[in-house]
């Protein structure tokens, strides 16, 4: 089974500063990778996904992520954060569309 590690449980960052949320997964076999965002008391919304092709994936709200197969990582980045980006972010991995494994989440707090 896969395991997903989100290295930072909490990330505070000042408004308009860049941010990187880190995600590593355990297996080097062919995987699909996802980042989701969750606002309080809501379900998860898909930010972006990597299935194949270019290792740099662009998503909604100005987020992007880079797939690094050799380091089994899929870090999420945004060059300039806004107050509205304050939320919980989850990384997820799937082996070819079967079970989906989620990390424990990173709480991003944007400071005015």
> Nearer Cβ to other proteins, position 19 or 92?
92
Position 77 contacts other proteins (CB under 8 A): no
Q: Candidates 12-20, 45-53, 61-69, 72-80 — which segment interacts with other proteins by CB under 8 A? A: 45-53
Identify the residue among 21, 24, 31, 103 touching other proteins (CB under 8 A).
Answer: 103
Position 61 contacts other proteins (CB under 8 A): no
Q: Where are the beta strands (DSSP E) in the chain?
A: 4-5, 10-14, 19-21, 24-25, 32-38, 44-50, 56-58, 64-68, 73-78, 87-94, 100-102, 106-111
- Which parts of this chain interact with other proteins (CB under 8 A)? 9, 32, 34, 36, 41-46, 49, 51, 90, 92, 96-97, 99-100, 102-105
């Amino acid at each position: 089974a896969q395991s997903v590690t989100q290295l930072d449980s909490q990330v505070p960052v000042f408004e308009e500063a860049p941010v990187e949320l880190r995600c590593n997964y355990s297996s080097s076999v062919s995987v699909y990778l996802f980042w989701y965002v969750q606002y309080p008391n809501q379900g998860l919304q898909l930010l972006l996904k990597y299935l194949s092709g270019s290792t740099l994936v662009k998503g909604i709200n100005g987020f992007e992520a880079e797939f690094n197969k050799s380091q089994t990582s899929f870090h999420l980045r945004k060059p300039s954060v806004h107050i509205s980006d304050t939320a919980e972010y989850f990384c997820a991995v799937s082996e070819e569309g079967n079970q989906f494994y989620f990390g424990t989440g990173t709480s991003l707090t944007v400071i005015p």
